[in-house]
Chain A
Amino acid sequence: MREPHPLLAVDDLSIDMTVARGTVRILDGVSFSLASGETLGVVGESGSGKTMTALAIMRLLPQPSARLGAESRILFSGKNVLKLDERAMRRLRGREISMIFQDPMTALNPLFTVGEQIAETVRWHEGGTRAAAQARAVDMLRAVRIPHPERAVRSYPHQFSGGMRQRATIAIALACRPKILIADEPTTALDVTVQAQIFDLLEDIQEETGTAIILISHNLSTIARLTRRIMVLYGGRKVEEGPTREIIRNPRHPYTEALLRCVPGLRSEAEHDAELPEIPGTVPAPEELGGGCPFAPRCSHAAARCRSTMPPAAALGEKHKVACWLHEAAQSAVT
């Protein structure tokens, strides 16, 4: 049984950004979908377009410098959110689609109690009394495993540690039981031990509430555990997408392959003593991209064609897709 339409379908999403030197395309024709209750990992280096994709879904792209491409569509439960007026969009944000950010130290308003910052979201979206909203805030803090939630609800953000602040932002994001949670590098700013706790928390929350999660990270290994499906972005383009296990075991795009080689934990025993490889070169600035594959300048397999023409997506099996000329033979179904 397939759903009539997926919970979220991003279709041909492109973003143009006005910078000092003119206009550059920072995201080019990215499409993906998310089923309810699913966890999708989005991987890529800084500047690959991960955060912009997330902000586009929330319709919180920096204005007026960012503009969406004309063909772009973002369907939430079949409705194009790009066509919604601001009022309707606000009803979606925080209630249907929530987002948490990379740095929990600055994501909370320092002048209001943590409880107030949860409760105002509840009151705004669902109405109800102050007391009821406050009670929900306590429940949410308990749900994200903050000790002594009755006391914590009256605390200010500066009385919380980094990990607890990120738990608090998760509590805010989930307070209205959204269908989608977008987590943009939620653990990058945290200690390694705390990172694991936050991931455990997200995993448990997903099991309990069935919230679909889009987990954005630059680190393949951290999100491999939590996701069933991964999408790899490079230079504003989707270069590979598929089931997490298959991508980890059998990466098909040279960039994904290189990315995996850089992760110590996921390499074989034999490689273990060898020097940790790196990907030569740097991510190209968006204005340096020509018509070809954005990875071509750093790719060891690059041919003349790679530099001139962007390879279309090729299906390798039912769910695994890759955009690389190396897999031209498999180019039958193109999405």
Chain B
Amino acid sequence: MAVVKLVLARLAQGVLLVFAVVVLNFLLIHLAPGDPAQVLAGEFGGTTPQILAQIRATYGLNHPLWVQLLTYIGHVARGNLGQSFYFNQPVLSLILQRLPATLLLVITAQVSAILAGTMLGVIAARRPHGWLSQGITVTALIGYSTPVFWLGIMLLIAFAYLWPIFPIGSMETIGFEGGIFHEALNILHHLVLPAFTLAFVYLAQYSRLSQANMLETLGSDYIRMARAKGLPEWLILYKHALRNALIPVVTIAGLQFSQVLAGAILVETVFDWPGMGQLTYESILRRDYPLLLGILLISAVVVVVVNILTDLSYRLIDPRIGAGSVTGVGYGT
């Protein structure tokens, strides 16, 4: 029951946080230069004061800022994120069309970065001065300092143009027909390059992190105790050490999720991936306030949900946190 209580508490915090995000974003965007009415008028070919006034009246831009804010909050609370200026469609349905593609990309990248990174880190921890360990350090440094869009472009040149084993962009082959299985394979094929691009930076970071944690854990007393018990090396490594070394990895994974989400914008643009990233790019370019606000809101919700999941997975790994003391038998200190 402690877990349910915790989730409820976290959800309440999350709602407050999202509310704050909505207000701040709204105010920030209106502080930024650029006038959506001008942009929209430009789309129609000419600007006269009458047209501008008409556009402002249509979209409620003629009201004072605080009235606009209250109206917006009222709408959001009822699940209405407004109408996109540019696409002339409800913001929510625009986002929901794009969200699955982005989640697929981001989660694939994040999960493979964590899994592969941790594995590399564990292997490297066995030989802290070996070539693998050195290689990971160098790769981490390169990954850190490489702009994600540049890496994406290089990969496209290498593996979609010079040696075309992967498609050059998009999420599916246009007009592709086939069973569900073949379609899934087709999407997977398109997913490889963008997911790798997005995962690359984090892969090296996770392997550095897990290697450092493994080294620290392997030097601890309970590992010496496990050796003194006569346990084999693999059991010590994968049961006793890895689980302890994973705790900080989970922390970082939760913290970095929002960064991966942000990185997706660039990757989606480079790979023409039909996700939220492209939509974000468009909405900024077009001064499409309702759409941009909607995207920021949904991203905030996703990040909050991921943080709650991170919190819960902590509890799964480490009995010392929260739930453990509630179900505990209470043997003194």
- Residues of chain A whose beta carbon lies under 8 Å from any beta carbon of chain B: 58, 60, 90-95, 98-99, 101, 103, 106-112, 120-121, 124-125, 148, 151-152, 154-156, 158-161, 164, 169, 172-173
Contact = CB atoms under 8 A, between A and B. Distances in A.
Interface stretch (B45-53, B78-86, B220-228, B250-258): B220-228
B255 to A, nearest CB: 21
Contacts of B232: 90, 124
Contact of A161 (B221, B244, B329, B332): B332
Nearest to B320: A158
B231 interface: yes
B231 A156 contact: no
B320 A156 contact: yes
B328 interface: yes
B230 interface: yes
Nearest to B246: A111
B229 A94 contact: yes
A318 B330 CA distance: 53
Contacts of A92: 230
Contacts of A121: 229-231
B318 interface: yes
A172 B225 CA distance: 9
B222 A156 contact: no
B329 A101 contact: no
Contact of A111 (B221, B228, B319, B332): B319
B228 A98 contact: yes
B317 interface: yes
B63 interface: no
Contact of A169 (B220, B225, B240, B331): B225
Contacts of A94: 228-231
A107 B225 CA distance: 6
Contacts, number: 97
Contacts of A107: 221-222, 224-225
A174 to B, nearest CB: 11
B60 interface: no
Contacts of A158: 319-320, 324
B320 to A, nearest CB: 5
A91 B230 contact: yes
B248 to A, nearest CB: 13
A199 to B, nearest CB: 20
A60 B317 contact: no
B318 A60 contact: no
B229 A93 contact: yes
A93 B324 CA distance: 32
A174 B220 CA distance: 22
Given A106-B222, A109-B225, A110-B222, 4 more contacts: A120-B231, A155-B328, A156-B319, A156-B320
Interface residues of B, number: 28
B243 A161 contact: no
Given A124-B235, A159-B330, A103 B221 contact: yes
Contacts of A172: 225, 229
B221 A106 contact: yes
Interface in B301-333: 317-320, 324-325, 328-333
B329 A152 contact: yes
B329 A111 contact: no
Interface string B127-165: 000000000000000000000000000000000000000
Contacts of B230: 90-95, 121, 124-125
A160 B331 contact: yes
B244 A111 contact: yes
B331 A159 contact: yes
Nearest to B241: A109
Nearest to A108: B222
Nearest to B247: A111
A167 to B, nearest CB: 11
A240 to B, nearest CB: 28
Nearest to B217: A109
Contacts of A95: 230
A93 B227 contact: yes
30 contacts: A58-B228, A60-B224, A60-B227, A99-B228, A101-B224, A101-B225, A106-B220, A106-B221, A107-B222, A107-B224, A109-B226, A110-B222, A110-B244, A110-B318, A110-B319, A110-B320, A111-B318, A120-B231, A120-B235, A121-B229, A124-B230, A151-B329, A154-B329, A155-B328, A155-B331, A158-B324, A159-B324, A159-B330, A160-B332, A164-B332
Given A93-B230, A124-B230, A101 B221 contact: yes
A95 B230 CA distance: 8
A58 B231 CA distance: 13
Contacts of B324: 156, 158-159
B231 A124 contact: yes
Contacts of B333: 161
Given A90-B232, A159-B331, A164-B331, A109 B244 contact: yes
Given A107-B222, A161-B333, A90 B231 contact: yes
Contacts of A60: 224, 227-228
A156 B331 CA distance: 10
B43 to A, nearest CB: 59
A51 to B, nearest CB: 11
B206 to A, nearest CB: 20
A137 to B, nearest CB: 13
B129 to A, nearest CB: 11
